[in-house]
Amino acid sequence: MRKQAAAFTAIFLTVAGAATGEDWLVHGGTQTNQLFSALNQINEQTISRLGLVWSRELGTSRGLEATPIVADGVIYATGSWSVVFAFDAKTGKTKWTYDPRVPRERAYFFCCDVVNRGVALHNGKVYVGTLDGRLVALDQRSGTPVWSVQTTDPAKAYSITAAPLVAGDKVVIGNAGSEYGVRGYITAYDAENGRQVWRFYTVPGDPKQGFESKAMEMAAATWHGKDWWRTGAGGSPWEGMSYDPDLDLIFFGSGNASTWYRSLRGGGDSLFTACILAVKATTGELAWYFQTTPGDSFDYDATQTIVQADLTIKGRLRKTVLQANKNGFFYVLDRQTGEFLSAAPFVSGITWASGVDPQTGRPIEMPGVGDASPKVLSPEPNGAHNWNPMAFHPGTGLVYLPERIGTQMVHVPDRNWKYNAARDNLGIDGTYEGPLYAKVASMAQPRGELLAWDPIAQKAVWRAGYPVVDGGGVLATAGNLVFQGRADGILAAYRATDGEPLWRFDAGTGIMAPPVTYTVAGVQYVTVLAGWGGSSGLMNMPSVGAVKPGWGRILVFAMDGNSRLKVPPFGHKDPPVPAIIIKQNPQTVHEGALLFNGHCFSCHGLNAVAGPLPDLRYATTQTLDSFESILLSGSLASEGMPSFSKILSAKEVEAIRAYVIARSQETAKPAPASQRR
């Protein structure tokens, strides 16, 4: 105990000179993106008194991924479909909401749920990127739009889920869509009027059209296939920007190439996909890049949090950036130059690479991983760590992050893949029925832990396990605390120095977003959005564990808070009662199973067992009777169920319907005779 108190004092002294962080003004807490607060009213001694002050339902069962921004007693947060909320921080009263009315029929092109990760605030305006590619500036007091620009070509499969980044007098936004085939870029706009200042592409375009810069010309030499630019090439910078005003640099990560598979792209490193990049904030010129996964074949986007930290490495104070990459390695780079300083695996069980070359930082791939043969690899595409922000505590010198251990995916590149703008372009062969799925089923289940990592020594200091694979974003505070929510709905606080669990609260539904902390009238609060979804939630693989889908909400805590959370019921308690009992043709059901797990499972769950979205085993007679009109005529497009008319034939839809009915019967309670037909 005495040792802990001493450690706490040391931490307090170390950070006492830091900003007190009374508001939470930028996405990462401060420009360093450390998700750290110097507030310490709530600390390891007082945390037992922490309780709920208020909560508000956000009217959605989809994933909530936003980091709230708090200024002058108002919380600004985003929900599903890029809706913005402003709440009175003390009372929870809604001050305004802004709904950008994203067309629901675009839902097919949102790979990973209709999420948004938050707003940016600057000079009386609130900025939000919308799922349909707009950047909107709202009046901070009223929520009324001041200006709006379309940052993407609406005819292409672009989307925005990231929070904008304010860099000086500019507001910068990236985009998503590599999974479908688009050309990634970030754009800087004048924060006052929305005028475009510069654009930086993450991948080159058609060489015949000429290159925008020397960087693009250099990158084009690393693409070896024929007509590779026709897919857009990918590289979506969909999350994880930060800004260093002293260096005039913006750091961000880029996503995978289109298609996922190097063997289908014709080889090469495919610059600047799966890279950490730095561009000059004033001009948008490339300053440096570091490719974490050259020639990526496994969706190892480098879009995870990029934390800035000044660390003494080998006796020299270095300005660094830190990233716990999807690919399983923790990177430390010099943020002035991009120089590779070190990397180490932060999870066990990585099977795509045996390590990282200590001189160059290039991963040492296992033999054959880039070829087109079927294989099982870890980590799977949601990564050893995904977008959920990690925190850095300058007092303990540790990084705290949600790690995903032992996740596996069967990769089967489709040798017949051809780019098709109407659908996803991952290049996966959905007809594969070989033994690798059975192999994965026989392997140890993946698991999740909160990991405290020493970025200088590149080693784990402590780990705190939980019963789900997916942990949420992390907040570290000068109260010697680390806060983290997770997919089973628990918001927990741990002692930062040793991982001792100190406090927990059941938020009623899974948490993905990071908590934030701030003061209003001298009282320290902790706030988090709870709402389970995202790609992991929607796919609902059995390996995700005891996750909790439900209705999303914002929760606010302070010492001696004594509100009780009322959790409205969600989902189905009992097995399905099939709406239709019919004898099925086993061949049709089998074809339907392959089609369902190829086209439908990424929203309606593997094997038709769903999480946040409708579980089709419970479909009513009316739904089953309208199946073709829903899938091919888009009759539920206004509710976010897109038409598949460009992807599926009527015969294929009938097979999917047969499979859904079969799954309902397989998992059902015996049905009363009156329902048989």
Distance CA 477, CA 392 (A): 9
Nearer to Ca ion, 244 or 301 (CB): 301
Pairing of strands 84-88, 94-98: antiparallel
Of the pair 234, 389, the CB lying nearest Ca ion is at 234
Beta carbon of residue 630, minimum distance to Ca ion (angstroms, whole number):
28
CB-wise, 70 or 111, nearer to Ca ion? 111
Among 22, 65, 113, 299, binds Ca ion (CB under 5 A): 299
| Closest-CA residue to 579 (of 664, 669, 666) | 664
CA nearest neighbour of 532 among 481, 574, 571, 573: 571
270-303 as b/e, with b when 16 or more CB fall inside 10 Å?
bbbbbbbbbbbbeebebbbbbbbbbbbbbbbbbb
Task: Name the one range near Ca ion by CB under 5 A: 6-14, 297-305, 319-327, 652-660.
Answer: 297-305
Identity of the residue, 302 or 475, whose beta carbon is nearer to Ca ion in the bound complex: 302
Amino acid code (one letter) for 426: L
Given strand 185-190, what is the order of strands in its sheet? 165-167, 170-173, 185-190, 196-201
Per the listing, tokens 């399905």 go with 576
Q: Which stretch binds Ca ion (CB under 5 A): 295-303, 451-459, 573-581, 642-650?
A: 295-303
The least CB distance from residue 111 to Ca ion, in Å, is: 7
Residue 319, both tokens: 């300005």
- Minimum CB separation of residue 49 from Ca ion in Å reads 42
Q: How far is the CB of 26 from Ca ion (least distance, A)?
A: 25
Nearer to Ca ion, 253 or 455 (CB): 253
Number of alpha carbons in the 13 Å side-chain half-sphere of residue 360: 8
CB-nearer residue toward Ca ion: 239 or 652: 239
Q: Verify binding: residue 550, Ca ion, rule CB under 5 A.
A: no
Q: Which of 34, 82, 202, 256 binds Ca ion (CB under 5 A)?
A: 256
Select the residue interacting with Ca ion from 174, 184, 255, 533 (CB under 5 A). 255
Region from 124-132, 291-299, 331-339, 659-667 binding Ca ion, contact rule CB under 5 A:
291-299
Q: Between 44 and 299, whose beta carbon lies closer to Ca ion?
A: 299
Asked about 424 being catalytic, the answer comes back as no
User: What residues does 380 pair with on adjacent strands?
Assistant: none
Helix (H, G, I), strand (E, B) or coil at 165: strand
* Residue 635 CA neighbour count, 13 Å, CB half: 11
3-state secondary structure of 597: helix
Segment near Ca ion (CB under 5 A), from 218-226, 254-262, 321-329, 425-433?
254-262
Least CB distance from residue 300 to Ca ion, whole Å? 8
Q: Is the CB of 299 or the CB of 403 nearer to Ca ion?
A: 299
**Burial group, residue 336, by CB count within 10 angstroms (0-12, 13-18, 19+):** middle
Site stretch for Ca ion (CB under 5 A), options 67-75, 255-263, 329-337, 414-422: 255-263
Query: What DSSP string describes 329-374?
Result: EEEEEETTT--EEEEEESSS---SEEEE-TTT--EEEPTTTTSSS-
Distance of CA 529 to the CA centre of its chain: 14
Q: Toward Ca ion, which CB reaches closer, 152 or 480? A: 152
- Contact between 301 and Ca ion (CB under 5 A)? yes
Q: Tell me how far, at minimum, the Cβ of 179 lies from Ca ion, in Å.
A: 6
Strand partners, 436: none
Which of 132, 299, 429, 615 is catalytic? The answer is: 299
Binding mask 71-110 for Ca ion (x = CB under 5 A): ----------------------------------------
Number of residues that bind Ca ion (CB under 5 A): 4
Taking the complex as a whole, the smallest distance from the CB of residue 234 to Ca ion amounts, in Å, to 8
Concatenated DSSP letters of 492-507: EEEETTT--EEEEEE-
CB of 276 to Ca ion, least distance (A): 15
d(C-alpha 436, C-alpha 343), whole Å: 30
Distance (Å, rounded) from C-alpha 322 to C-alpha 340? 11
Q: Between 157 and 526, whose beta carbon lies closer to Ca ion?
A: 157
Contact flag: residue 174 with Ca ion (CB under 5 A): no
Q: How far is the CB of 303 from Ca ion (least distance, A)?
A: 8
Helical spans, DSSP H, in 105-248? 214-220
Q: How far is CA 119 from CA 71, 129, 325, 409, in A?
A: 12, 8, 24, 33
* Segment lying near Ca ion (by CB under 5 A), choices 198-206, 256-264, 333-341, 431-439: 256-264
- Minimum distance from residue 178 beta carbon to Ca ion (Å): 5
Region of 4-12, 47-55, 249-257, 286-294 interacting with Ca ion (CB under 5 A): 249-257
Tokens of 149: 């620009």
Number of H helices, E strands in the chain: 10, 37
Annotated catalytic residues are 299
The binding site for Ca ion (CB under 5 A) comprises 255-256, 299, 301
